[in-house]
Amino acid sequence: MNNKLWQSLANSWKIPDLRKKLLFTAGILAIYRFGCHVPVPGVNVGALEKLFQSGAGNALGLLNLFSGNALNRFAVFALGIMPYITASIIMQLLTVVIPKLEELAKEGEQGQKVITRYTRYLTVVLSLVQSVGYIFIFKSFSGALPHFDAIHAILIVFTLTAGATAVMWLGELITARGIGNGMSIIIFTSIISRLPSGLYKFFNGSMSLVEQIAFVIIALGVIVSVIWITTGERRIPVQYAKRIVGRRMMGGTSTFIPLKVNMAGVIPVIFASSMMLIPTTFGQFLSHNGQNWITRTLGPSSWFYMLGEAILIVFFTYFYTAVTFNPIDQADNLKKYGGFVPGVRPGRPTAEFLDRILTRLTLPGAIFLAAIAVLPWLLIKTMPGVTFYFGGTSILIVVGVALDTMRQMEAQLLMRHYEGFLK
């Protein structure tokens, strides 16, 4: 298995087009990581790092994770790719609600270009709002912004907004000219960048040997379960009837509709976490040094936060799955091209059949996502020696992006008659 993996990597490097894409992606990621280390003007980086180490910034921990530790330095790319992801999710939800956007989505490439342009505009607006919010939050902590005035505030806001816009552009460049989805690759890089510090805390922290062994077993179990759920799918058999076109016999083939157990991916986790962070963020904004009833009751370490996040994840999993997969459209397309599910009448009965299976299939996927999101909190509560964030969400993103990128590279290899990564 290892020999095949290394041989596949060597084959991918032999292909000029694939090698250029890999080098281009690596160059873009190097630029992104450089921007994550350059602080904005007028910020005391040391005070901010102490703030996050003390635990006062726990409400911003998820956003700091997705920014690759750029937020605790208040770097140029501190907002990361999150404004763009949030804008993309909002536009996808609005496409279902607003008929005009739904018409654009059905117009193909031209309509998608218009929606992409709206998404970019919304990203800039969200970046402005988030930048202003961060300024007021960090201003409440002494020493974080030592030379705070109107000029410095405007400069920080425009710098962070420009940084978020640049990250959006870098992600689109990776999607267009590199390997994989640009947004996912940037989040993947941000999470992986925290691995060295996590390993250092693991080996030099206060965890006992028993806790370290239990931690490794749990981590391996999570990785295996994430791969199992991510690749799991229910295949609905589809048969196409034979028909005569001219003098040729067409159709008569068999295929299937793949319904994934986790069709929504990590989107529900990101969206639910962002929603749950809103009251805590406002609580830090309204209090001195971020300590008040809101932050204590609804903070990431509370029962209410975990319960609310789990419920929202289940809700958004069903909602996002309904947005991305429409059983009625699938049934109509099958009927239009002469396809049918064996034992099910075409048309409305097929749509009801697909909807019933999808509803049952989404439940274990939603529960799995909620369990993965709650796992770090339970681990820290039951294992006091755990001093760094063990992110089930992080593993879910990393494994999902890695599998997707491997599939794309495998497709490139198979096009050139090389054996791919996956069997």
CB-CB neighbours of 51 under 10 Å: 21
pLDDT band at 31 (very low <50, low <70, confident <90, very high): very high
Which parts of 15-108 fold into alpha helices (H)? 16-35, 45-54, 61-66, 82-97, 99-105
CB-CB neighbours of 381 under 10 Å: 12
CB-CB neighbours of 105 under 10 Å: 16
- Give φ, ψ of 326 to 5 degrees: -105, 110
pLDDT at 111: 85
Give me the amino acid identity at 69: N
Q: Residue 324 in contact with residue 263, Cβ under 8 Å? A: yes
Q: Residue 375 in contact with residue 222, Cβ under 8 Å? A: yes
Bridge-based pairing of strands 254-260 and 339-340 is: unpaired
Q: Residue 118: is its pLDDT beyond 60?
A: yes
pLDDT digits (tens, 9 = 90+) for 387-398: 555 566 777 778
Give me the amino acid identity at 34: F
Give Cα 328 distance to the centre of its chain: 28
Q: Residue 392 in contact with residue 266, Cβ under 8 Å? A: no
Query: Which residue in the block uniquely carries the two structure tokens 């969200």?
Result: 126
Q: What is the C-alpha to C-alpha distance for residues 170 and 183, in angstroms, rounded to an integer?
A: 9
Q: Residue 423: is its pLDDT beyond 70?
A: no
Give me the amino acid identity at 87: A
pLDDT digits (tens, 9 = 90+) for 243-252: 666 666 565 6
**What residues contact 67, with CB distance under 8 A and at least 6 apart?**
36, 75, 77, 78, 79, 80, 82, 190
Q: Residue 139: is its pLDDT beyond 80?
A: no
Of residues 334 and 241, the one with the higher pLDDT is: 334
Which parts of 248-347 fold into alpha helices (H)? 267-286, 293-298, 303-324, 327-336
Closest to 75 (Cα-Cα) out of 163, 2, 170: 163
Q: Residue 177: is its pLDDT beyond 80?
A: yes
Q: Residue 143: is its pLDDT beyond 70?
A: no
Q: What is the DSSP letter of 75?
A: B
Q: What is the DSSP letter of 421?
A: S
What are the C-alpha distances in Å from 183 to residues 25, 28, 83, 272?
A: 12, 12, 11, 18
H/E run at residue 257: strand 254-260
Query: Which residue in the block uniquely carries the two structure tokens 């607003």?
Result: 98
pLDDT at 203: 76
Least confident span in 134-148, 165-179, 207-221, 327-341:
134-148
Mean pLDDT of the chain: 79
Q: Residue 309: is its pLDDT beyond 70?
A: yes
Q: Which residues pair with 235 in a beta bridge?
A: 258
pLDDT at 287: 55
For the chain, what percent of residues have pLDDT higher than 70?
Answer: 78
pLDDT at 4: 56
H/E run at residue 211: helix 209-231
Average pLDDT over residues 172-194: 86
Domains and CATH numbers, the chain: 1-193 (1.10.3370.10), 197-390 (1.10.3370.10)
Which parts of 106-149 fold into alpha helices (H)? 109-139
Average pLDDT over residues 185-207: 79
Q: What is the C-alpha to C-alpha distance for residues 380 and 364, in angstroms, rounded to an integer?
A: 25
Give the CA angle between residues 370, 376, 382 to the nearest 5°: 120
